Chain A
Amino acid sequence: MSVETPERPIARAVAEGRMPGRVWMYANYHCNIQCTYCLTESGPKVTQRALSPETMIAVGEQAKELGFTDLGVTGGETFLMPHMPDTLARLADELPVVALTNGTLFSRRLLEKVEPLAERDVALQISLDRPDADVNDEMRAPDNFRKVVAAVPALVERGITVRIATTVESIEDNELDRLCALHRDLGVPDSEHIIRPIVRRGRADTENLGVTAVQSDLPAELTITDDGAFWGPFGPTVHDDRLDTDLLVTRTTLPLETPARALLGLLEGRPDGDDSALNIR
């Protein structure tokens, strides 16, 4: 006699590969730097629009209950939020976590605070676009390169998993070879290096940079923000100081089942083969 299990449509969709397993959270929108291609027009003077640590932990708990497999935390600069080291540790009690950071705030004090993350399933994804400081910093911020190449080995030495994300319009082979040599020198293997295109949304659109991406080009990873739930982390962009709503799924974020079911409904209505070809991740 078989035992009936309760229906878990999200868990089944994730397990069958019909729905991405990761849930993203925009911890905040403000940032200590102001990158040329930033999707969210982040910078020091923008509104924080932060998720509280309690909300983030509730999202993590409910994501696990629903059957999601991974968590992502992005911003803004996530480590501008003083609670971030503790919150990441708590989220990792639920599911593996990747947290995005520009890598410029890792003072000795912050390094001490994040050290416990070495014991957890947490990876810090740090942006490094070019092997040369002047070219890298032109798109990001003055002194960005120096701070990143100091932070990465300091984190690696403490046993923290570091990924390098390179976001570019294009990159020459020679330049990429030197960038890869650099991240290996810093202690980050090739398996932890991703290269992705600039997406033409937010400030990148204002600056006329990157590839135009439509809904089907973007991964449908449920993304929770202070403004609602979106079709992926490339959804809740800001342009001319206004939130884009074209990839909004629901304003309701908790219970997480509400936006998760709505996103699944959208995915099930998508024609076969209508998925991304732009390697946007």
Chain B
Amino acid sequence: MTTIERVELDQVPLLARPYFADGDPGPIVRALAQVPELLTVALPFIGAALAPSAIGFRAKEIVIVRTSALAGCRFCVETHAVVALDAGLSPAHVAALRTPGPVPDGLFGDPAEEALLGWVDVVGGGGPVSDEERAAILRHWDHHEIVELTTVVGATLMLNRFATALALPTSPDALERLEKEGLR
């Protein structure tokens, strides 16, 4: 398979070194480190967008896994399926998020999470967003939360295309965990 190089651990550029201080930071950082001046601005943004913030860990992982599934990104789905389990989602939740299309009735049980899933499907699926769809999400989430959740969808889509185009490999640990949870 043709692959795009990621920096080796003994070849980390100077500006990228802080991101490698605790060892191998994973394939996204190792790929971005090829262009250190891009890494140093991209990672703070990605961190702010995807890490827990005013929006909780679980909600963000719902967005990330669902968006990645819609975009068909194997790396992001596999990697974040594990993170989603750590965020308190069950294997059944994760399996449903990974499968584009309607989620089984009552599986999430929380109207806010169900509205969020609908919003992700609309935003992540491309095309126009209707007034009714904006009204539906606004019934459960505040304006600033919608701004942030929509940014998470956008940031995830960027990484989906990046990881897919560069054929980033999923870590063996993540694959082992998915196997154990019956998600492979």
A residues near B (Cβ < 8 Å) are: 215, 231, 244-252, 258, 262, 266
Contacts of A258 in B (CB 8 A): 37
Contacts of A244 in B (CB 8 A): 11
Contacts of A252 in B (CB 8 A): 37
Are the CB atoms of A246 and B37 closer together than 8 Å? no
Write the chain B residue with the least CB distance to A244: B11
Are the CB atoms of B37 and A215 closer together than 8 Å? no
The answer for the CA separation of A215 and B36 in the assembled complex, in Å, is: 17
Are the CB atoms of B36 and A246 closer together than 8 Å? no
Contacts of A251 in B (CB 8 A): 34-38
Are the CB atoms of B14 and A231 closer together than 8 Å? yes
Contact count band on B: 10 to 19
Are the CB atoms of A262 and B13 closer together than 8 Å? no
Can you list 7 pairs linking A and B with CB atoms under 8 Å apart?
A: A245-B11, A245-B34, A246-B14, A249-B15, A251-B34, A262-B37, A266-B15
Q: How far is the CB of A215 from chain B (nearest CB, A)?
A: 7
The answer for the CA separation of A231 and B14 in the assembled complex, in Å, is: 9
Contacts of A248 in B (CB 8 A): 13-14, 36
Answer yes or no: B159 CB below 8 A from chain A CBs.
Answer: no
CB-defined interface of B1-28 with A at 8 Å, one 1/0 digit per residue?
0000001001111110000000000000
Write the chain B residue with the least CB distance to A259: B37
Are the CB atoms of A246 and B15 closer together than 8 Å? no
Are the CB atoms of B7 and A250 closer together than 8 Å? no
Q: How far is the CB of B24 from chain A (nearest CB, A)?
A: 16
B residues near A (Cβ < 8 Å) are: 7, 10-15, 34-38
Contacts of A247 in B (CB 8 A): 13-14
18 other A-B residue contacts (CB within 8 Å) besides A245-B7, A245-B34, A262-B37: A215-B14, A231-B14, A245-B11, A245-B12, A246-B10, A246-B11, A247-B14, A248-B36, A249-B13, A249-B14, A250-B15, A250-B37, A251-B34, A251-B35, A258-B37, A262-B36, A266-B14, A266-B15
Q: How far is the CB of A186 from chain B (nearest CB, A)?
A: 40
Q: How far is the CB of B165 from chain A (nearest CB, A)?
A: 18
Q: How far is the CB of A202 from chain B (nearest CB, A)?
A: 14
Contacts of B10 in A (CB 8 A): 246
Write the chain B residue with the least CB distance to A265: B15
Are the CB atoms of B13 and A245 closer together than 8 Å? yes
Which of B10, B14, B34, B36 has its CB near the most chain A CB atoms (within 10 A)? B14
Q: How far is the CB of B44 from chain A (nearest CB, A)?
A: 15
The answer for the CA separation of A247 and B12 in the assembled complex, in Å, is: 8
Which of A245, A250, A252, A258 has its CB near the most chain B CB atoms (within 10 A)? A245
The answer for the CA separation of A266 and B17 in the assembled complex, in Å, is: 11
Write the chain B residue with the least CB distance to A243: B11
The answer for the CA separation of A56 and B124 in the assembled complex, in Å, is: 45
Q: How far is the CB of A72 from chain B (nearest CB, A)?
A: 20
The answer for the CA separation of A231 and B13 in the assembled complex, in Å, is: 10
Write the chain A residue with the least CB distance to B13: A248
Are the CB atoms of A250 and B36 closer together than 8 Å? yes
The answer for the CA separation of A103 and B136 in the assembled complex, in Å, is: 76
Write the chain B residue with the least CB distance to A235: B14
The answer for the CA separation of A170 and B81 in the assembled complex, in Å, is: 59
Contacts of B11 in A (CB 8 A): 244-246
The answer for the CA separation of A125 and B35 in the assembled complex, in Å, is: 33
Write the chain B residue with the least CB distance to A249: B14
Write the chain A residue with the least CB distance to B8: A245
Write the chain A residue with the least CB distance to B10: A246
Q: How far is the CB of A164 from chain B (nearest CB, A)?
A: 32
